[in-house]
Structure 1
Amino acid sequence: MNNPAISWFGIVRLGLVQTGLGAIVVLTTSTLNRVMVVELAMPAILPGALVAIHYALQAFRPAWGHGSDLGARRTPWIVGGMAVLAAGGLLAALATAWMSVRPLFGIALAVAAFCLIGAGVGAAGTSLLVLLAKRCDDNRRATAATIVWVMMIAGFIVTTAVAGHMLDPFSPMRLIAVSGSVSAAAMVLTIVGVWDIEGRDTAAADASQIAPPSSAFRAAFMEVWAEPKSRRFAIFVFVSMLAYSAQDLILEPFAGVVFGFTPGGTTSLSSVQHAGTLVGMAAVPLIGAIYPHSRGNMQAWTIGGCLSSAIALLALAAAALVGPFWPLRETVFMLGLTNGAYAVAAIGSMMALVGAGGENREGVRMGLWGAAQGFAFGIGGFLGTLAIDVARYLLSSPSLSYSVVFASEAGLFVVAAWMAVWVHRLPAALRRDGLGDLRAAIAGG
């Protein structure tokens, strides 16, 4: 029995979940990071390590995806994950405020908070994408993923813009109030988004397709890992997302240290970046509608997005050297634009590949790629902040330090562009094996 397909309205409703998820995450990774480094004078490696902890928990995404494959309903995973995420976001703000008076206790609470954030993002995000992958028609998957991701970016933009306004003049209590409001709003959006989205008939249809209990997670994971494109795509996701995320935790401190932006100003700068990302994401399907021959060429879009992101990062490296006279907002918008084009192309490829290979393994594949993304984001954020601390120690110039790090990240995007070509190249031995299998089939016929 086939599962009923989700309507376009249902896809938009699910996008509300991603909007709420993005709202909480952007506040914890951008604003709290800036407050720790600039207002509290903590080393940049501290927020980098906290975000790395949250991404380290993404290692459990394949197992959560496997559970979603075996289970009959995904709504409890989504709502439960968002509740954990919302609690973690509020605790992270409390911990940051506590650091101003009791640094060690504040840091300890922050570790626990970011563990909750990681678990919430992994559980809710993986189950949401599995639901989309299994309930969307094949010709809707890429578009559905784009809609959901655009709504997440919209959550970034609205949150950073509103929070940037509400946080000035800055105070720890104001930070806690803003964070609590964002967490409450995210829960409301999630409940509205998933309310009766599966329905009783759908749950019954899922229950009839549950894999046998003997389908152990390890066997399912190894089956997916043995698929050449799934494995190579996971490696590509790791490399490209490493490049994508390395600037994430240093951009706001960079604007504060080199350009003298206030906390509200740097938060608003993040909204400029996310606005660019939204435009970049929307541009890909729009150009595809105007030039239909380019619509399905996700590999070309991915390569172009990676190379143009490298150029934008080189422009940021120049901005660090030139200083306040450089058009920083325009450069950050360009970085968001190029990142958005890359991201929507990678998401389109992900949704197209998720149903390939063995049956009832969509959750494991999505979990594998989500884990690769999570590791890359965690390592990228940590390495970015570590690189800044090391560069500032060695070079004794904040401007030159940021310039060197941004230029290094541009080089990593060039490597990611090469990886996008490599994903679709099968090993010569595998091609020979495939030819041998074809010949054997012909001979047997």
Structure 2
Amino acid sequence: MTAGKQHEGFGWLQILRLGLVQASIGAIVMIATSMLNRIMVVEYGLAAAIPAGLVAWHYVVQLSRPLWGLGSDRGGQRSAWIMLGMSLLGLGTLIAVNAVFLVPGHRPVALAIAFLGFTMIGAGVGAAGTSQLALLASGVAPARRAAAAATTWIMMVAGIIVAAASAGALLDPFSPQRLALVASGVILSALVVTALALFRLEPAERNQLNAAETDDAPTMREALDEIGNEPAARHFTLFIFVSMLAYSMQDLILEPFAGLVFAMSPGQSTQLSGMQHGGVLTGMIVAGIGGSAFRSRLPGELRSWITLGCLGSALALAALAIGAASGPGWPLVPNVFALGFFNGVFAVAAIGAMMGLAGAGERTREGVRMGVWGAAQAIAFGMGGLVGALGVDFARRGLGHDAAAFQLIFSIEGGLFVAAAWLAFKVSRPEPAARVEAMGS
């Protein structure tokens, strides 16, 4: 059997099925990081730092992503690793939900159980997410990578929206029993959707090829050494960290900025956040269509899309800094939409590039490389929101002026995006000709 037949490449139906997996991951994570966060603070009176710390811990656990990726490289079938991760994610979320019920009378025990739950959540996200991206990278032809990345990420956002809307409608009037039923329903639905989406997704010949390559799979130390000694992979790892750090810094400060500097009400600031997410989705669609139309991959058009997204984000943040000085009257809504748009452009292009470089290793395969980059992203996400929020707090105290504090943080964030654009240009290694030919459609 020829390599071309072994790697015919996923069609759009298979890509959509993997998008359903991504949507299912997003739906369960929404319960753990969003819904439980509010319930812990409002309904059970915990300090906001407690759920924030648990969410940060689940990012720390995702440092295990390279190990999960290496396991899926050696396992011969990535679908099984995805299901294992989804099972860990679902069970960990149920444990965290039930831990909350113990808060009123057994707070230390409740927090210990919640810690266990969020540990499993982090491990589950790492196992399922890394294996899903590795399967996407190994199965999608180069010309479709940008569109495939856009499709799966848009479906993840859609999964979060659908789960949040459904859970929110069913959760009122709130009671512990209702929370348990709603959470269980979302988790069960996500597991069923994932199982159906993965059913016979990987052709038997692909599994046989993966098993044959297992004999030559490097150890974790050898894999990390190869990635560290490869300039493109090393620069890309740093790019992922810097760009995602900048991307996540605004998460916890955009709505307070709108309230403190522009005197927006909670409802208005929430709508502003929705406008930003609308911009992100638009940017993802544009980059997905544009990246595929020009059959782009690094080096070349995808690198240009990444640079456009990073520099556009930096300019939008510079405009927000100017708006902080101007105050009410500044076109804040289109400014925030532009920020979201360029964030979406760079995010999809970066994921498409990640899938391309994942197949460029001499011995390392897609799983461990996706794991390394996923770990870099998790660290950046965990740090970004915290750095942004603490930075604003310290700057407000030190400068004594809200607008000046936000100006400083937005300027730092913009500088990080400029640095990320420069790093993107240093990612210059093309894919090996054999791998590109094997994956061509």
TM superposition score category, shorter chain reference: 0.7 to 0.9
Q: Deviations over 1:355-396 (max 9, x none)?
A: 113045222211111111111111213323433454565567
Q: Aligned match of 1:144 in 139, 144, 148?
A: 148
- Structure 1 range deviating more: 70-79 or 202-211: 202-211
- In the alignment, which residue of structure 2 is the partner of 1:126? 130
- In the alignment, which residue of structure 1 is the partner of 2:280? 277
- In the alignment, which residue of structure 2 is the partner of 1:82? 86
**1:366 matches 2:370:** yes
- In the alignment, which residue of structure 2 is the partner of 1:300? 304
Q: Which one-letter code corresponds to 2:227 in the other structure?
A: V
User: CA RMSD, aligned part only?
Assistant: 3.7
- Structure 1 range deviating more: 139-148 or 286-295: 286-295
Residues 25 and 400 from structure 1, CA distance in 2 versus in 1: closer, same or farther, beyond 3 angstroms?
Answer: farther
Q: CA deviation at 1:89?
A: 2.9
Q: Aligned match of 2:220 in 217, 231, 236?
A: 217
- In the alignment, which residue of structure 2 is the partner of 1:343? 347
Q: Which one-letter code corresponds to 1:86 in the other structure?
A: G
Residues 100 and 280 from structure 1, CA distance in 2 versus in 1: closer, same or farther, beyond 3 angstroms?
Answer: farther
User: 1:55 touches 1:374 (CA, 8 Å); kept in 2?
Assistant: yes
Q: Deviations over 1:246-277 (max 9, x none)?
A: 22244566678864426xx8777655443322
Q: Which one-letter code corresponds to 1:230 in the other structure?
A: A
Q: CA deviation at 1:184?
A: 2.4
Q: Aligned match of 2:117 in 94, 109, 113?
A: 113
Q: Which one-letter code corresponds to 2:93 in the other structure?
A: G
Q: What SS class does the counterpart of residue 214 from structure 2 fall into?
A: coil
- In the alignment, which residue of structure 1 is the partner of 2:384? 380
C-alpha distance in structure 2 between counterparts of 1:370 and 1:23, whole Å: 19
Identify unmatched segments of 5+ residues in structure 1.
427-445
Q: Aligned match of 2:424 in 401, 420, 424?
A: 420
Q: Aligned match of 1:23 in 27, 38, 56?
A: 27
User: 1:145 touches 1:347 (CA, 8 Å); kept in 2?
Assistant: yes
Q: CA deviation at 1:158?
A: 2.9
- In the alignment, which residue of structure 1 is the partner of 2:243? 240
Q: What SS class does the counterpart of residue 209 from structure 1 fall into?
A: helix
Q: What SS class does the counterpart of residue 198 from structure 1 fall into?
A: coil
Residues 168 and 332 from structure 1, CA distance in 2 versus in 1: closer, same or farther, beyond 3 angstroms?
Answer: farther
Residues 286 and 197 from structure 1, CA distance in 2 versus in 1: closer, same or farther, beyond 3 angstroms?
Answer: closer
Residues 254 and 94 from structure 1, CA distance in 2 versus in 1: closer, same or farther, beyond 3 angstroms?
Answer: farther
Q: What SS class does the counterpart of residue 197 from structure 1 fall into?
A: coil
Q: Which one-letter code corresponds to 1:279 in the other structure?
A: T
Q: CA deviation at 1:18?
A: 0.4
Q: Tell me the percent identity.
A: 48
Q: Deviations over 1:393-423 (max 9, x none)?
A: 5567777755654443333223322322333
Q: CA deviation at 1:24?
A: 2.3
- In the alignment, which residue of structure 2 is the partner of 1:206? 210
Q: Which one-letter code corresponds to 2:238 in the other structure?
A: I
Q: Which one-letter code corresponds to 1:211 in the other structure?
A: D
TM-score normalised per structure 1: 0.80
Q: CA deviation at 1:183?
A: 2.1
Q: CA deviation at 1:115?
A: 1.3
Q: Which one-letter code corresponds to 1:356 in the other structure?
A: A
User: 2:143 touches 2:292 (CA, 8 Å); kept in 1?
Assistant: no
- In the alignment, which residue of structure 2 is the partner of 1:184? 188
Correspondences of 1:65-76 after superposition (within 5 Å): 65-76=69-80
TM-score normalised per structure 2: 0.81
C-alpha distance in structure 2 between counterparts of 1:357 and 1:291, whole Å: 24
Q: CA deviation at 1:320?
A: 6.9
C-alpha distance in structure 2 between counterparts of 1:406 and 1:305, whole Å: 16
C-alpha distance in structure 2 between counterparts of 1:65 and 1:92, whole Å: 25
Residues 286 and 208 from structure 1, CA distance in 2 versus in 1: closer, same or farther, beyond 3 angstroms?
Answer: closer
C-alpha distance in structure 1 between counterparts of 2:164 and 2:344, whole Å: 17
User: 2:223 touches 2:363 (CA, 8 Å); kept in 1?
Assistant: no
Q: CA deviation at 1:237?
A: 0.5
- In the alignment, which residue of structure 2 is the partner of 1:261? 266
Residues 109 and 255 from structure 1, CA distance in 2 versus in 1: closer, same or farther, beyond 3 angstroms?
Answer: farther
- In the alignment, which residue of structure 2 is the partner of 1:230? 233
Q: What SS class does the counterpart of residue 423 from structure 1 fall into?
A: coil
Q: Deviations over 1:293-348 (max 9, x none)?
A: 99951222212211222344455567778888877665544333221111011112
Q: CA deviation at 1:119?
A: 0.4
User: 2:288 touches 2:349 (CA, 8 Å); kept in 1?
Assistant: no
Q: What SS class does the counterpart of residue 143 from structure 1 fall into?
A: helix
C-alpha distance in structure 2 between counterparts of 1:292 and 1:355, whole Å: 17
Q: Which one-letter code corresponds to 1:417 in the other structure?
A: A
User: 2:146 touches 2:291 (CA, 8 Å); kept in 1?
Assistant: no
Residues 102 and 321 from structure 1, CA distance in 2 versus in 1: closer, same or farther, beyond 3 angstroms?
Answer: farther
Q: Deviations over 1:210-267 (max 9, x none)?
A: 2247x322112212221110011001111101111122244566678864426xx877
**1:10 matches 2:14:** yes
Residues 176 and 252 from structure 1, CA distance in 2 versus in 1: closer, same or farther, beyond 3 angstroms?
Answer: farther
Q: Deviations over 1:142-171 (max 9, x none)?
A: 432332222212223333444555566766
- In the alignment, which residue of structure 2 is the partner of 1:437? none
Q: CA deviation at 1:27?
A: 4.1
Q: Which one-letter code corresponds to 1:69 in the other structure?
A: D
Q: CA deviation at 1:16?
A: 0.5
C-alpha distance in structure 2 between counterparts of 1:43 and 1:322, whole Å: 35
